[in-house]
Amino acid sequence: MTNKILIIGGTGNIGIELVKLFKNSEEDFQLLARTEARQKEFSDQNLRSIMGEVGDWRSIDNALAGIDTVFLLTSPSPLMLDEHKGVIDRAIKAGVKKIVRLSAEPADANCDMPLYAAHGQADDYLQNSGIDYVILRPHYFMQNTATMHGGFIKDKQMFAQYLGDATIPMIDVEDIALAAFNHF
């Protein structure tokens, strides 16, 4: 039996790495393309895609038809919670068997930080939905060190943060993608 996979969020840091893993596998997958330009870009890379955008529910219903597993990752936004709930609801209605959702650490529905509260609420919603799920909660991407601190490191030949004795768990986006891939 094949596992038909829909990747929502295949163009960001993690999504790009996940797509690389799928390209080198025998998995039956397609990507959600928000624009015709993006769909052409996918086609030029010999990647199958379907037009759709989270929030345009008719297009999501169409994209979910015949899908067994969904990878769900969207950009942080004030709409994220409603968007993820909408995808979860429609996936269940379409007969999807499993959702692999990228969340964030420290996701907590009661957190004072809106982004982490939204992730926590979306995680809770998925956990209570009745569908099989995997939730990944990475913390700090190692790649952020170069993008956020690269200039300082280059100029000062050092790396420093104002953390005192605190530590930050770092993870490479390739490792996050591999963890997601291993759940399909």
What digits encode the pLDDT tens for the residues 20-55? 999 999 999 999 999 999 999 999 999 999 999 999
Q: Where are the beta strands (DSSP E) in 34-131?
A: 49-51, 69-72, 98-102
Q: Please give the Cα distance from 142 to 98 (Å, whole number).
A: 28
Mean pLDDT, rounded, for 93-120: 95
The rounded mean pLDDT for the chain is: 93
Q: Please give the Cα distance from 163 to 151 (Å, whole number).
A: 19
Convert the pLDDT of each residue in 129-174 to its tens digit.
Answer: 999 999 999 988 888 888 877 888 888 888 777 778 888 888 999 9
Mean pLDDT, rounded, for 179-183: 97
pLDDT at 1 over 70: no
Q: Please give the Cα distance from 48 to 123 (Å, whole number).
A: 28
Dihedral of the CA atoms 9, 10, 15, 16 (nearest 10)? -150
pTM of the entire predicted model = 0.91
All domains of the chain in start order, with CATH: 4-141+173-181 (3.40.50.720)
Convert the pLDDT of each residue in 68-85 to its tens digit.
Answer: 999 999 999 999 999 999
Q: Please give the Cα distance from 125 to 89 (Å, whole number).
A: 10
